[in-house]
Each structure stands twice: as C-alpha cells, then as structure tokens.
Structure 1
Amino acid sequence: MGAIAAATLGVTAPLTAVHAAPISLNTQMFVEHVTTDINGRARRVLRAADRLSPGDTLVVVVNWRNRADRAMSGIAVTNAIPGRLRIDPADPAMLVSVDGGANWGRLDQLWLPTPLGGTRRATAEDVTHIRWPMPGTIAPGQGGRIAYRATVR
C-alpha cells in the first residue's frame, strides 16, 4: 500500500471537531476492477488495496460514528489527498480545496493563480483536500459512511 495508502488513511475531522466531539473514523481502501460477465454486462469487483499501480481506480470508504453521550452538530469529515491521487469530485455534498484547506467549494467554483499573473479554473488534479459537512445534528451512537473514488496517477 505504501505512502499513498498511509496518507489516504489519515482521514481526520477538522481540528475544531476533534476537540469538540469524540467522532470515530475508520477508513477502508479498495481497488475497483471492472470485468465483463458471460452476458456482456459490466461487473465491478472491489479488492483490498494491497498494491497500487498508475491508473488504478480506488474506492475509499470512511465510516464515522458519534461516540459521545450527547448530540453533536457542525461536524465535518476532512481528508487530505496524497499528490499521487486524483479524486473524482462527482459527489455533490463533497467540498474540495485546492490550496491546502484554506478555502472550500465545489470544484467548478474554484480558481488558481497562473505563473504569469492570471487565473485558471481548478481541476481534479489540483485538489489537496476533500470535506463532507455532516447534516444537522448527529445523535449519540449515530454513524454513517462516506465513499469517494480516486485514480492513482
């Protein structure tokens, strides 16, 4: 799994959430293989991400749970993206950052400066962090799952 897996598995809640709430996170990473069955239909198979190669499609699953004895609100799950991964920003609830987590938005809303003083639209290759704000109040013991895809560069 190497450095990519170690960095990808470093999913954390934002600093304020870490101090405010005991939210447990468990991350799993799989390589997605697409094969064709006997009837010509595509079959998706997930395998453990033991070895990663350029072009591999990863499915990263983040399981979260409120371990506190009280409800929590204002929680977000944030994940730094290793440089060798390109995320698929298809999830409309996913916010992305292209500047190390300083600013957040949908990918089509973000711009970056160019070396000659202009700006350009950010692309999936520019994403440094992803974040999912948790909706409403999270009850004690409540949990859920977030998943996203990424491609190994």
Structure 2
Amino acid sequence: MSKIGAILIEAVIVVGILAAGVTAAQAAPAAPLQPAVQADDPQANVKIESKVLVERTEQDTAGQTVVKLYTPSDVKVTPGDKLIFVNSYRNTGSTSVTGFVVNNPVHTAVTFINVSEDWALISVDGGQNFGKLTDLSVTEAADENAELKSTIITRAAQPSDVTHIRWTFAKAIAAGASGELRFSAVVK
C-alpha cells in the first residue's frame, strides 16, 4: 500500500475515532460537574447532540471562493483538514436550568484551533484547571535528551496544548431554549 493510501486510511480511522469519541463523550460533557445528575434534576433535561463537520474551501461555478461544511462520511478526511465540532443543546424540560456546564475533551488526533464562544474556558492539563489560553502556561522538559530531562521550563500555552474545553452557562437555559457550542481543530 502506498504511503498516501495509508495516510488516507489513517485519516478515516481518526475521523471515526473522533466521531465516536465525541458521541461517547456526550453524556459526561453534558452533565454538571456533580458526580451524577438525578432524574428529577432540571439539568437532566438539557440534551446534547454532538457532530463533527469537515470544512473545505472550494470554488463555486462562478469561480468564487466558498467555504462548505461536509460530514466525514461525505468526503475523504486527511491530515491538515479543518474540523468543526458542534455540540447542540436543548432544554427539553418545563423549567429553566441554571449552573449548566459542558466539558468537551479535545481528541489527541487533532490540534485545537479556536472556540467560537468567547466565554469558553480551556484546559492544557487534562481538564484539571481551566482558563483563557493567554492566561495558561505549560511546564515541560527543556529537551528530549535524557541528560537534560531534569531541566524544566515553563512557557505560554499554545493552541496545540489544549486538552479540554469548558462552557459554563452564566445565564439560565430557558425551557425549550436551544443553541450550539463550537470549536475547531485540525487533523494531525
């Protein structure tokens, strides 16, 4: 098999993993930060549906550049492709929900680019601490050389360091209200 064929197959597997990872993560991210949501808790009425879209820049029939979104099953996904992760939420209950938090891990097969909502917080340490990217730092070994492993440096966090995104709703989600939370990443 050619190297390009192997990369394409790997990319398809990555997108499958990403889609499965987002789907499997739906229950946990949609839950408040309490150990469990009780069935009679209004927060249990906020439902989350997640999807992944592939963003492509193309030429239309008039020669104009347009941005189109595709599902991963409609196009071949390759390293370097931009993915849009969408978490759609809806309060299916009859009362407002306050204090709602959505946590979304960023899969290791992608590199975080940005988050659409300016009120979202991110983590660069596996979801232990959250903040704005500009306020976070990463501590790491200065060199891969075994002799220098004891040299530790702290540097400003970069988008490639992002491991999780957290949206904490400052306002109540009204009964019947819905919306979307988005972030983008690039396939490694």
TM-score, length basis structure 2: 0.73
Aligned to 1:24: 47
Q: Deviations over 1:89-131 (max 9, x none)?
A: 2532221101111111111111011222221111111111011
After the TM superposition, which of the residue ranges 74-83 and 134-143 deviates more from structure 2?
A: 134-143
Whether the 8 Å CA contact 2:33–2:101 is kept in 1: the answer is no
- State the 4+ residue runs in structure 1 displaced beyond 6 angstroms: none
Matched residue, 2:106? 81
Q: Does 1:15 align with 2:40?
A: no
Letter in 2 for 1:77: V
Structure 1 range deviating more: 116-125 or 84-93: 84-93
Structure with the largest fraction of helix: 2
Consecutive unaligned residues of structure 1, counting only runs of 5 or more, are none
Distance apart, 1:39 and its partner CA: 4.7
The within-5 A match list for 1:3-152 is 3-9=17-23, 10-11=25-26, 12-13=29-30, 14-16=32-34, 19=37, 20=41, 21-22=43-44, 23-50=46-73, 51-91=76-116, 92-115=118-141, 116-152=151-187
Q: Distance in 2 between matches of 1:52 and 1:36?
A: 19
| Structure 2: 5+ residue stretches without partners | 1-14, 142-150
Give aligned pairs, total: 153
Per-residue CA deviation, residues 49-103 of structure 1 (Å, 9 max, x unaligned), is 1253211111111110122332111112210111011122253222110111111
Higher percent of residues as strand: 1
| Distance change (3 Å), C-alpha of 1:73 and 1:125 | same
Whole-angstrom CA distance in 2 between matches of 1:59 and 1:17: 29
User: Following the alignment from structure 1 to structure 2, what is the Cα–Cα distance between the partners of residues 15 and 137?
Assistant: 16
Contact 2:19 2:51 in 1 (8 A): no
What amino acid does structure 2 have at the position aligned with 1:34? T
Question: Conserved in 1, the CA contact under 8 Å of 2:56 and 2:67?
Answer: yes
